[in-house]
Amino acid sequence: MTISNESTVAPLKIAIIGGGIAGLAAAMGVLKHQKEGANVEVVIYEAAHEFKEIGAGVSFGPNAQRALHMIGLGNELDSISGGDPGGSESDDVWFDVYVGEKQTVKSEREMICKVEGKDSAKGSVHRADFLNKMANLVPEPVKHLNHRCSSYETILSEEGENAGGKVLLRFAETTDQNGNKFTPEDVKVDVVLASDGIKSLMRKCLYKRRGLDGALEKYSGWIAWRGLIDQAEYHDIMGKDASTKLLLLGQDKHILTFPIKHGKVVNLVIMIIKGSEITLDRSPRIDPNPNFWRTKPHSMRNTWLFLRYVSLDNLSNEQKFNLCIALFLKAIEDPSIWGIFDLPVLEHTIDHHLALIGDSAHATTPHQGAGAGQAVEDSLFITAILCSPVVCSAPLTERSAKVQKALELYAKVRHTRGGKVQTTSAEAGKLYEFNEVNGEGKDLEKIKQNLIHRMGWIWDWDVEAELKTALKELEELC
């Protein structure tokens, strides 16, 4: 292991592409290590005019909560997450699970189980609130808005060797906030973290460089209606003693709720599996028939006619699915419809001096509430590995090779876990809708046993110990 005098070695320049949860968490990770003395610099490029999240609530499991605290975002999470601090609901109950559809099984509103885990319900936040808190912590010189990275390439020297591991980033023409067109200048960096989401251009470029078909996002078969309900109105609908953390199961559909903003607001998701009945090719907030919006006014988003058009069928009919859904939907100020997309488990997540993180690497369906957590784990691990002195302070003649070893280690540590979250999440969605996973079908006892044991391997993962093991292996490799 060789470490140079840091004053003689240029800082390892890390570029982050995309300013969502994964990208901003990675930026915070690098900045934390930099503050602790790591020989690194970071810059984050975001395509939009501002850092902005779409969607309503998002859940960080206990594993992700620990990772956020290790990155230095624990206070920001705790300041806005979970239910009412003075309320009666336990942070250790993820969901109260009920049968929601009486035609499906013997008992309408029959409780199946409580899904529990230490602090499992403590990490629920409003996406935009949390993203804003992260973005506000990143210094302005680090943030570059209106920069849509369209491609990258490795810079080679005349001898054919990589010139210190530099990567050239190219940006697409864009417009500033005043509507003026411009094309940002190309940028040379040492390593790239691609966190540009499920539709990642960096991922498509990576696969193209390898001569492979692009790993494209795919429609999962589910459509979701999402929105927020004031806590008081929620209890008017469900009863004053009703839990705000409900998972309600039905044939080919399920509903879940959880509190955000310290319990003042309840996040609602109505999930319907449509499978091959429709074909979607874009995400999110999709209408199955694009011609519909050419003939109907935009305000149709918020009307029952719109909801009926996209085949809610009799979901609101209490005789069939007695969940007060009609009242829920009426209570939502701005219900949104989403096509649920995910990725196949990827064959490749790294290239020369580039790594995919977050949804660009392993976008998943939301049925286990684990996708954002995997993005945070990615950010924690990749920044700790790259900011290790054996990598960022290595002599320039050795640093390129060590950066690549670091990325290979990251892929080894993270890829299998992220892929398993993808596959088990899709299974969970089927389980919630009485569709066969491992023979459960409509057998409530089998469903119960699956649910109460399902999340442990995600939540109980020892983030700190696994990171220590990875860093020890890095030292042995370098």
Read off the pLDDT of residues 258-317 as tens digits, 9 standing for 90 and up.
999 998 999 999 888 876 566 655 544 444 443 333 333 333 333 333 333 334 444 443
| CATH architecture of the domain with residue range 8-76+128-217+345-434+454-477 | 3-Layer(bba) Sandwich (3.50)
pLDDT value at position 133? Answer: 95
pLDDT value at position 223? Answer: 84
Assign domain 84-120+218-342 to a CATH class.
alpha beta
SS3 (DSSP) at 452: helix
Whether omega for the bond prior to residue 297 falls within 30 degrees of 0, making it cis, is: no
Window from 82-91, 124-133, 261-270, 440-449 with minimum mean pLDDT: 82-91
The yes-or-no verdict on residue 178 having pLDDT over 90 is: no
Give the pair of three-digit tokens for residue 83: 């239910």
Contact call for residues 369 and 62 (beta carbons, < 8 A):
no
Cα angle, residue 364 at apex, residues 213 and 216 outer, rounded to 5°: 15
The yes-or-no verdict on residue 27 having pLDDT over 70 is: yes
Residue type, 71: I
User: Which pLDDT band, with edges at 50, 70 and 90, does 446 fall under?
Assistant: very high
Give the pair of three-digit tokens for residue 108: 């309408």
- How far apart CA 146 and CA 169 sit, in angstroms, is 14
Task: Please tell me what DSSP assigns to residue 59.
Answer: E
- How far apart CA 398 and CA 164 sit, in angstroms, is 8
Output the average pLDDT for the chain.
85
Give the pair of three-digit tokens for residue 97: 């699970």
Please, where in the chain does CATH 3.30.9 lie?
84-120+218-342
What is the rounded average pLDDT of the residues 12-29? 98
Count of H-run helices and E-run strands, the chain: 16, 20
- How far apart CA 455 and CA 436 sit, in angstroms, is 19
pLDDT value at position 164? Answer: 58
What is the rounded average pLDDT of the residues 172-200? 92
